A and B are shown apart, each in its own frame.
Chain A
Amino acid sequence: MGTTASHLDKEALSEYQVNVLHKLLKKKSCAHRKFRELQNKEERSNTTSRVPMERINELPELKSNPFKERICHVFSTSENKDGSLTFEDFLDLLSAFSDSATLEIKSHYAFRIFDFDDDGTLDYDDLKKLVNCLTGESEDTRLNDDEMKQLITNILEESDIDKDGTVNLSEFQHVISRSPDFVSSFKIVL
């Protein structure tokens, strides 16, 4: 795996959902250029170098996204869980958010993004954090405790099919699979 796009062999490329990206890579690599812009000079020479999360989040595509830190954590393969990304991880991210990724892939990654404590289920605290991310983090934009409680009770009532107090991946996908809007909104285009 070299530093330039041409080193990615074709066979490997075709495995990504990034059809758009695929084209871009042929055109001297938009994604790669973007990624290189984030890297330092010494990092550029190193193929497996990681870009820290803070710099990834500077990208305009992610900047205003409330889930940007979670996204980095989910796609990072770093061992010390700091959310830093290699170029490969970056491609993974783009392919999951691309046009041609299937509903299943998207819902899978969405679940992992929403699962704040990485325990494989969305429990009360995950949902609370999720709602707070959606409404805005600051004190005056948050829902108050009563509202939050009522809301989460409603969510669990609807989507917690096996009534164990958490939403697991299959229940999550069950909800998502019936939303026609999800595929079009779970998308990041460079």
Chain B
Amino acid sequence: MSFAWAKQYEPQTAVTKWLDEKLPLPRLVYNAVGAGYPVPRNLNYMWNFGVLAGFFLVVQIVTGVVLAMHYAANGLVAFATVEHIMRDVNYGWMLRYAHANGASFFFIVIYMHIFRGFFYSSYKAPREMIWLLGVVIFLLMMATAFMGYVLPWGQMSFWGAQVITGLFSAIPLVGEPLQVWLLGGFAPDNAALNRFFSLHFLLPFVIAGVVILHIWALHIPGSSNPTGVEVKQESDTVPFHPYYTAKDGFGLGVVLILFMTMVFFLPNALGHPDNYIEANPLSTPAHIVPEWYFWPFYAILRAFTGDLTIPFTGITLIPAKLLGVIAMFGSILLWFILPWLDKSPVRSGHYRPLFRKFFWFGLIPCMIALFICGGAPAEEPYVIISQIATAYYFLHFLVILPIVSQIEVPKPLPFSITDAVLGGDKPGSTSGGGAIPPESVVEGLPGTATDGSLQPAE
């Protein structure tokens, strides 16, 4: 793996030499996130979010392990132990608010990371495996976050558990036994709370494992970059350390300021007041909503209001509830085939005029509409908006993307990253660059051997 010009780790002291022979851990770190990992020199701030996501995974694990020292997963006392953490445990309020808002920030950075992937087509060959593992991480995160939200055992916890496990009851034949099996009872209670706690503790470590695979897979082709042109030469890259460690450090500072502002000044702004009411199986909140990061998918779930029937016969093929469940899971599962849906040889949205229009004026407004509708009550006009947006969501990925990638004429790509950085594609501005010799401008055509973009698969 890695590029021929990657720096090699050289142990400096007797101890590191000894360690390098027995357990080359420093070498691994050096090659993974150190000076031994050459990274395209033109990454923009959208490439900060991978490291940030890793940071928030650590935040969640550390605060979570600490909170678990004070929490008890029992329906009688769970709510009270959370209040015990908030009132009596030293810095308990800080740790719990950091954990609750940390989940939100984890999702914020993950969504930025995913949508960066959409825009720059980071999922394309040779990086399909990185993308697939990323989708797995996202699914695990959703499961973990859902189960974590149940633990405080407030009203939203309880009814969220009821509603989400209720999704599985839509499955024909096995649905209802499946829901009872998931809950270990007929309604959420101690059995459900205990298993959710157990899995909520376990899954983050599974996520950490898949993250390692994700990074491993990343290091085989190396990082993508905003031009989508593959690295060709040493001048295209800089070592990860110190260049991107410094940049990630700065990015981390900015995100930490936002994160801490939420933790210390608006800790409950992203939560729901009903979750400060203890779970009551006899009273449903007026308006059940999941946490904000599930809203788009919740909107897709609720968009299907009518059963799929054969007209004029009264025969129901698929009930609306099952349609919604299929669509909701399908909306994420389709990301698994995304690398094979988008056939364009050009990666970056910057060089794909038509794709870019659909991204900014189609997908992004569609996601915003789904987000708003998912958090809104199931009333008009939200229902109709969510139906239109859901339709667009599937059309975008399944229909528009394959067709656009077929008919689009991409803009000319720069010959190399160095050219793009030095403005080599703009005549008259090729001077400078100090130690890096200016490259000749080659107007590569997509699909040709020299343009550095994706080779046609078929």
Same complex? no
B-binding residues in A (CB < 8 A): none
B contact set with A: CB distance below 8 Å:
none
